[in-house]
């Protein structure tokens, strides 16, 4: 193989990998953004559900909320 052909193949392979990673990161970022919007909307609709009956904050469950 000529080095020019190898260089072109490496360039295209690197570009394809880079675009694939970029797509995965974009999808993950969008899902996280959607989850934040849904959480904020739920808090606006029903802020009392995040508080205990004495209006103090509810402690998070052990191990954190998921």
Confidence at 39, pLDDT banded by 50, 70, 90: confident
Of residues 66 and 22, the one with the higher pLDDT is 22
Is this model's pTM higher than 0.85 or not? Answer: no
CA 1 vs. chain centroid, Å, equals 42
String of DSSP letters for 2-51: -HHHHHHHHHHHHHHHHHHHHHHHHHHHHHHHHHHHHHHHHHHH-GGGGB
Q: Where are the domains of the chain?
A: 3-43
**Average confidence score pLDDT of the chain:** 80
The residue ranking higher by pLDDT, 1 or 28, is: 28
Mean pLDDT, rounded, for 4-17 = 93
Q: Write b or e for each residue in 30-43: b if 16 or more Cβ atoms lie within 10 A of its Cβ, otherwise e.
A: eeeeeeeeeeeeee
């Amino acid at each position: 193989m000529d080095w020019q052909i190898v260089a072109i193949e490496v360039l295209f392979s690197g570009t394809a990998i880079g675009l694939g990673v970029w797509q995965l990161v974009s999808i993950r970022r969008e899902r996280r953004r959607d989850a934040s919007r849904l959480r904020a909307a739920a808090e606006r609709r029903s802020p009392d559900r995040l508080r205990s009956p004495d209006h103090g904050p509810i402690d998070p469950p052990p191990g954190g909320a998921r």
